[in-house]
Structure 1
Amino acid sequence: MVPFNYLLLASFLALLSQGVGDTAQRDTLYKKIYRTINLRDYCVRLTNATHAIGCGTSESGTTGTIHFVNDDDDDDVQYVSSSGKHPPYAVVIQLNAFNSGLIRRFVNSSARIAGVLINGTLQQPSEGNQSPALECPNQQFGLYSDTKCSPVWNEHASGLSYESFPFPIYILNAEDMEDIYDCYKKFNVPVKDDTITYPLCKVNMQSFMYAAGDTTTCMRRSNGLFGAVFCDPLENPQVWGSLFPLVQQEGDSSVSREIVFLAAKMDTSAFFHQMAYGAENDATGIVVLFAALEAIGEQKRKNRLKQEAMKPIVFTFFNGEEWDYIGSSRMVYDMVKGKFPDIENGPADFNLMDIKYFLELRQLGLSSGGMFYGHQPNDTRSPQDTSNTLFNTLQENAVKSDWVLEEVKETSSSQLPPASLQSFLKASTNIAGLVLTDHHEQFANKFYGSIFDSEYYVYPNCTNLPLTRNLTNVASAVARTALRLAGVDDGIIENVTAKEDTIKQLLCCFLHNSNCTYFQDLLATDDQRDKLTTNVPLVRYVSVDGSTPFVESIIKLLAVRFSGRLASGYEHTKCPSDGTDLRKWYTMQNADNHSRIQCHEAYVYEYTVKSPAFVDGNYDKEKNQYSTWAESVWDTPTVVMYVVSDDQLEDVTLGVGCMVLVVWFALVFFVTRRIEKVFIEQ
């Protein structure tokens, strides 16, 4: 006879296996109890050489009672901060209420705040919204690390993006916000005496960040014995190229090639990185450079430009510039080391001595009355004659293109604006540089580094005729200036004009709908086109190695289309290879016939940039020479909503359950000890 306790064990295991195996029932039960909230984005942890910024939770997460807070209602804030009877609270706010004043009030009551949930429906910003960036972006890593910022470029700054928070902050989709509000309205709305009774609607939030302390500590832990990675340096490709191939000079290679260098920055920032759209900062600069490249490239495609008859024109879209000039400082670092470009048998090495003119396009979308400003270094940083030539040439072409250029010269009380040019001027005094902007002393952009720096701010509904006309005129002048400085004949230059339709299309694709026809035409396969998202802008946060934001691919292919030409013999077919190290071939969709593809050739390259600090392993806190920003590794964050009963009822339920368990085990023990008397064998 089989012992009774074995029968009990077998029955228990059978029941257990049935419960474990029935996934559908288990999932159904889970969904009846819990509601998983979809996250649009969330605040993450970053570190540099001195400290950490951002958000996170403990490894076990945090739980809070849901409460909606109206920014205009001080009673709501007081309720979660002091008077509410069921802390900690998961505070829910509207997007337009997301500002430093409100968030810092929550920080001051952090013991009662479990987390912040934000309604993520992007809309026209209100006057209460701010720039979460710093007053003087990148100040410690440019030309003025040892001096006070003058002027204060970002007068609307709150610095919120560079603070550390003791609770998580999430931004949600509108559909999930409706479910949260329904649960709150049903269970959590306080009555007149500010009390609520059980059951309560709560959320559990988990977004544990592995990085802690600073980058030095985090990288040391990541390089430990067990191979675990706690943080990654900010790095990703940036795009550069030239109109014609850069070939080595005959004879003395030390002679300068007098390169005309055009630059813009491809990345931007925001408190929520996956909502970093940067309409004014600096999508406007990007599209102007592309429109200028298209106008210049058109002359090349018509065989009006001859390489041997002009100086080289080089263009670069820097990446990581928002995070202490990662892209530009790495390029300068490699030039100084004689390692740029690091392509075997590729373009001839060129260095800082080869750059004669440096024209950088920054924020250009908020010009007042067609007025733009050319910021130039003083004569101790840059050769006076060539600097004057650069400014005068651009000013002359500005007049012809119907806009006004005002000179802003660096003085002891007026510094250069945040720009990649500063990285180059730190290492060389032989470059004539100019930073073109729409502002004189303070940013015209009230939402620099904010999620509100979006299409709604600059280009709503893909319509803003004064904006596109202004940017087209600027692009025309930039193209003509580059060709004039490169030594091209005036007879050719007078025919160079940027296309307003290109400006319109690019702004709409970058800021409104990345799944636009203009971008689709760049991509040869459906797999590539599937990466574009309808009615969503391109995210331009630099991120870390391996994430490969799709914006780099789009920037590269746009540069190919505008500066290159159809490959001879492959106008209606895919490229036979990737080309050579010097000349690259790129297969794209035929813009005129989407059922066919074509091959383009161009001198356009990707260049993965990581701060020199991670190359040298130099995290010196005092020098502030190179960026040390790293991003934490994290597990996938989750927010789960559920309803809980009274704590006392839960205690009673647990007590009764324990009593039943004890009684059950006592009964089993009693029966087992007397099994032969209870069950008489026949």
Structure 2
Amino acid sequence: MQLQIKAVVLVMLLQCSKCVVSERTRDKMYEAINGASCFRRLNGTHQTGCSSTHSGSVGVLHLVQREEDFDFLLTNPPSPPYAPIIPPELFTQRNMLRLQKEGGKNISVVLLINHTQKMLQFSHELNCPNQYSGIMFPNSSVTPTCDAAPELSWNPWGTGLLHEDFPFPIFYLADIDEITKIVNCFEKFNNFNYEGHSKRSLCAVEVKTFMTAAVSSEVCMRRSNFINTMGSIKYCDPLEGRNVYATLFPRVMSAENEVVAERKVNTSEKFILVSCRLDTTSMFDGVGLGALDSLTGYATLINVAHMLAQLLPNNSEVLNKTLNVLFVVFNGESYDYIGSQRFVYDLENMAFPTRSTQTTPIGLENIEYVLDIGTLDDITKIRLHSLDEFSQASQLLAKFQHYGLSPILKFNISFMNNVGMRMPPTSAQSFLRKNIKFPAFVLNARPQNRYYHSIYDDMDNMNFTYGNTTLNFTGLKDVAEHFVFAPDSIQMKIRNISTVIALSLYETLTGVSYKKTEVANPLLTDEFLYCFLQSADCPLFKAASHPNSLPGLPIPPSRYVSVGGGSQESSGWTNRVLGYLLSHQTNIAKANCSNLPLHWFAGYRSKGECRVTTQNYSYALSPAFLIDNYDWKSGQYSTWTESTWTQFSARIFLRPSNIHEIITLSIGVVVLIISFCLVYIISSRADILFEDAPSSTAALAEPTAC
């Protein structure tokens, strides 16, 4: 009976324990805030970005609302160090460099908040992106691609903050609730009686974003390689990713059992190389969609490839069989053209494509010319840039002008040529730097993107609104067909420029002018932009995947180049989409559709279909990390690395005043002294305070005899 009562009491106690909410002391003291952090990258000579101290950087919150507030923070503030809360319109080059140079012990953290009401521009890139890795004047280290006057540069609104080294962490808060949390804490505890800051507890923030790398890529890689002989510690990793390429028509493959000791280029095989940039970047980890800076050109290339595949099936009778189109989406171009530099390096060394493709290598001599699709901020006025007068450029420009101003198509796109050394900062620079006479041409518009390489180059900056039509996006459309998109929408603009480029290449390949009225499909552009700007769980990605495969995440894929082992999801999706849109459907059953170049796709209707594909990957790792004893200061190849780190975290708490800390320390010392005294007294009087207890064995009875 007693056992049953005890069991009932135990059950009641367990049930009651569920009603008790227990909090650890740490959870009562700190409140976490979520955001994105600036981090450290390095090149052959410098380090850029920011880092906290090893144990975390702590600063008192102070909301900056005007330029004069920086004077308070930098001129004898009452209770340093401080953590200024800065809106985007005050996150300028002048203010940030002032904090960098004058902050000293007064500034320990910077918080950037997502209040964009007064923001007019926000670009952290240089006025001339990649200015040290483009073409150079003979016997000079000066690039002619950049203008001295910032207003005439390729990025007039650039601040260059992406390439500065800050001695404090910078943390970005995008969520309104998180911003309200820290502003309310500032208003409640800090925003009054500033003279008494040092005498009371203040709301503060602690940011932990410690970076292990320092100085430069050369130093960091040397340290990592030295340590790796004794362990697996890394201080930094090279920026690397994957380029994605595909040919319009399948190439001849060798037999699986055919082994060629020496790879040789087939000089009779010719290609028009059409390229664009895949990646983008920003100051903060995982934030930045690159809508205008690279996604417009990327969407244009995808549409061009798709339209040509529809117009020119492999068995077309009008084909020029000796000329193919090679589409390449380069990765890592934001950091001194990592992807295109490696591509040219592989072409020179007959390493592209790899042996696993069972095709002959391609060299520079196989390329008729490069048509690089740059930034297309204004899709109605476009320039075709070239270093010199090339017959291919003149012929191509004439075709662009013909289709751009066609009275049947009614696109009203004007094309002009621009011959000279002032070439846009695009992938074509890698080809021209290797050979100044190489026929590389760039389609580029006048810069209008005020948010180039920043967290605000998003769908709003592009003025994109998802149509969500659920209609078939895999076919071409008649130019007169009406859509839900406005004539000046980004979907229709990309349709127009894609059609002009595709028809110009069509005429080049066939020698026949295009007379029909079918054009690129704006529904494809709508779905493509939705996938990369809003959600990877989208119809296009599903159609380009294997049936019943897991859907993408309900967020856009990151297009930052990352490092080896990092997220390469954008390359993966590009590989699938380019392969799907360039491929041709066959009647082969699923069981026999397993060996390349055959691939089984879900398709638009998700029923599964076998297609002949041509897409593949190539390396986007700078040759600097392949060459033994490479001269890191030579500037020949990209040398960018990314520091390793353990965690990103931020939390707010009440930081006690100096007087409070002194009193707490004093009380602790007093308690420690009293404790030692009590222990000494008790030890010295132990014989009096504690009488000897009888031995435990005394109570035991003597055992009886056996």
TM-score normalised over the length of structure 1: 0.86
Match of 1:274 in 2: 286
Asked whether 1:448 is paired with 2:444, we answer no
Larger Rg: 2
Secondary structure at the aligned position of 2:510 is classed as: coil
Q: Is the 8 A contact 2:332 2:339 kept in 1?
A: yes
Q: CA deviation at 1:206?
A: 1.5
1:637/1:489 CA distance change after superposition, 3 Å: same
- Residue 244 of structure 1, aligned match among 246, 249, 272: 249
Q: Is the 8 A contact 2:288 2:456 kept in 1?
A: no
Match of 1:538 in 2: 557
Match of 1:461 in 2: 465
Question: Using the alignment, how far apart are the partners of 2:541 and 2:354 within structure 1?
Answer: 29
1:505/1:238 CA distance change after superposition, 3 Å: same
Counterparts of 1:241-640 in structure 2 under 5 Å?
241-247=246-252, 254-300=266-312, 304=316, 309=321, 311-367=323-379, 370-379=380-389, 384-400=390-406, 401=409, 402-411=411-420, 414-428=421-435, 431-439=438-446, 443-462=447-466, 465-466=487-488, 467-487=490-510, 489-490=512-513, 494=516, 497-524=519-546, 528-529=550-551, 531-534=552-555, 537-570=556-589, 573=590, 577=594, 579-580=595-596, 583=597, 585=599, 587-593=600-606, 596-617=607-628, 619-640=630-651
Match of 2:202 in 1: 200
1:551-587 Cα offsets, whole Å, 9 max, x none, are: 11111111012101335324xx58853x23xx252x4
Secondary structure at the aligned position of 1:209 is classed as: coil
Q: Is the 8 A contact 2:236 2:642 kept in 1?
A: yes
Question: Using the alignment, how far apart are the partners of 1:90 and 1:527 within structure 2?
Answer: 46
Q: CA deviation at 1:588?
A: 3.6
TM-score normalised over the length of structure 2: 0.83
Secondary structure at the aligned position of 2:186 is classed as: helix
1:312-360 Cα offsets, whole Å, 9 max, x none, are: 1110000011111111110100110111112325232111101103211
Question: Using the alignment, how far apart are the partners of 1:244 and 1:554 within structure 2?
Answer: 21
Q: Is the 8 A contact 2:210 2:646 kept in 1?
A: yes
Q: CA deviation at 1:671?
A: 1.9
Question: Using the alignment, how far apart are the partners of 2:655 and 2:547 within structure 1?
Answer: 50
Secondary structure at the aligned position of 1:501 is classed as: helix
- Residue 134 of structure 1, aligned match among 122, 126, 130: 126
- Residue 119 of structure 1, aligned match among 109, 113, 123: 113
Q: Kindly provide the amino acid, as one letter, of the partner of residue 109 in structure 1.
A: E
Q: Is the 8 A contact 1:56 1:168 kept in 2?
A: yes
Question: Using the alignment, how far apart are the partners of 2:613 and 2:118 within structure 1?
Answer: 41
Question: Using the alignment, how far apart are the partners of 1:168 and 1:253 within structure 2?
Answer: 51
Q: Kindly provide the amino acid, as one letter, of the partner of residue 34 in structure 2.
A: N
Q: Kindly provide the amino acid, as one letter, of the partner of residue 101 in structure 2.
A: N
Question: Using the alignment, how far apart are the partners of 1:652 and 1:273 within structure 2?
Answer: 41
Q: Which runs of 5+ in 2 are unaligned?
A: 1-19, 148-152, 255-263, 467-484, 694-706
Match of 2:101 in 1: 108
1:90/1:77 CA distance change after superposition, 3 Å: same
Asked whether 1:680 is paired with 2:691, we answer yes
Q: Is the 8 A contact 1:258 1:357 kept in 2?
A: no
Q: Is the 8 A contact 1:393 1:481 kept in 2?
A: yes
Asked whether 1:65 is paired with 2:65, we answer no
- Residue 175 of structure 1, aligned match among 157, 177, 181: 177
Secondary structure at the aligned position of 2:132 is classed as: helix
Secondary structure at the aligned position of 1:30 is classed as: helix
1:359/1:194 CA distance change after superposition, 3 Å: farther
Question: Using the alignment, how far apart are the partners of 1:665 and 1:576 within structure 2?
Answer: 81
Question: Using the alignment, how far apart are the partners of 2:588 and 2:129 within structure 1?
Answer: 49
Question: Structure 1 stretch 327-336 or stretch 495-504: which is displaced more?
Answer: 495-504
Match of 1:669 in 2: 680
Q: Kindly provide the amino acid, as one letter, of the partner of residue 538 in structure 1.
A: P
Question: Using the alignment, how far apart are the partners of 1:605 and 1:488 within structure 2?
Answer: 29
Q: CA deviation at 1:51?
A: 0.7
Question: Using the alignment, how far apart are the partners of 1:318 and 1:185 within structure 2?
Answer: 48
Question: Using the alignment, how far apart are the partners of 1:460 and 1:271 within structure 2?
Answer: 23
Secondary structure at the aligned position of 2:358 is classed as: coil
Q: CA deviation at 1:86?
A: 0.8
Q: Is the 8 A contact 2:281 2:290 kept in 1?
A: yes
Question: Using the alignment, how far apart are the partners of 2:351 and 2:533 within structure 1?
Answer: 36
Q: Identity of aligned pairs, percent?
A: 27
Q: CA deviation at 1:248?
A: 7.6
Q: Kindly provide the amino acid, as one letter, of the partner of residue 553 in structure 2.
A: L
Q: Kindly provide the amino acid, as one letter, of the partner of residue 373 in structure 2.
A: L
Q: Is the 8 A contact 2:543 2:601 kept in 1?
A: yes
Q: CA deviation at 1:494?
A: 3.8
Question: Using the alignment, how far apart are the partners of 1:575 and 1:488 within structure 2?
Answer: 37
Q: Is the 8 A contact 2:244 2:330 kept in 1?
A: yes
Q: CA deviation at 1:296?
A: 1.3
